[in-house]
Amino acid sequence: MNGSTQNTNVYGAYTHDGKFHYKFVERQLATKTIAFFERLRKIYKKIIFIVDKARWHTAKIVEEYISKNAENLKIIFFPTTSPDLNPVEECWRQTRNNVTANKAFSSCDELRKELRRHWSRQKFQHKSINYLLP
């Protein structure tokens, strides 16, 4: 979207076997975070989310949601300003390199279509356990 002020925001998470789950949103908000968590809870019985400390992850209503669902939902927060510790950042890096680098899209819809196509085929090939060990 050359010269455009349009953008798209994405929530993303992936499984131990590299399957990527995503949700496009207009804005990242605590209520959208909860909706994304809830969507994944319908697919998987027990979930561990590893997230940064963005305000939409740390809001009081998100904390309450996590507490209410503590038996099958766990959240681990990365230290502030440590994107190198966050495995999903590798997903974003690979996506930039393979989809969006040096490419202009005529619309947000075209961008989302390309991202969907990429994510439906892509298995992310890095070991999450490497991010959990000191």
- Report the mean per-residue pLDDT for the chain: 85
What residue type is 109 in one-letter code?
D
Residue 3 lies in a domain: no
Tokens found for residue 108 = 């947000």
Residue 1 clears pLDDT 50, i.e. is over it: no
Other Cβ atoms within 10 Å of 51 Cβ, number: 18
Listed in sequence order, the DSSP H helices in 44-107 are 55-58, 60-68, 87-95
Give the pLDDT score at 59: 96
Residue 2 lies in a domain: no
Residue 1 lies in a domain: no
Distance in angstroms between the alpha carbons of the first and the last residue of the chain: 40
Residue 71 lies in a domain: yes
Higher pLDDT, 76 or 86: 76
For the segment 80-105, the average pLDDT, to the nearest whole number, is 84
- Domain hosting 33: range is 9-129
Domain containing residue 66: CATH number = 3.30.420.10
Question: Would you put residue 49 in left (φ > 0), alpha (ψ -120 to 50) or beta?
Answer: beta
pLDDT band at 58 (very low <50, low <70, confident <90, very high): very high
Report how far residue 7's alpha carbon sits from residue 103's, in angstroms, rounded to the nearest whole number.
14
At 107-130, the pLDDT tens digits run 999 999 999 999 988 877 666 555
Burial class (CB in 10 A: 0-12, 13-18, 19+), 118: middle
Other Cβ atoms within 10 Å of 92 Cβ, number: 14
Give the pLDDT score at 73: 93
State pTM to two decimals. Answer: 0.81
Domain count along the chain:
1
Integer angstrom CA distances of residue 76 from 79, 123, 129: 10, 23, 13
Q: What share of the chain is helix, strand, coil (3-state, %, to 5)?
A: 45, 15, 35
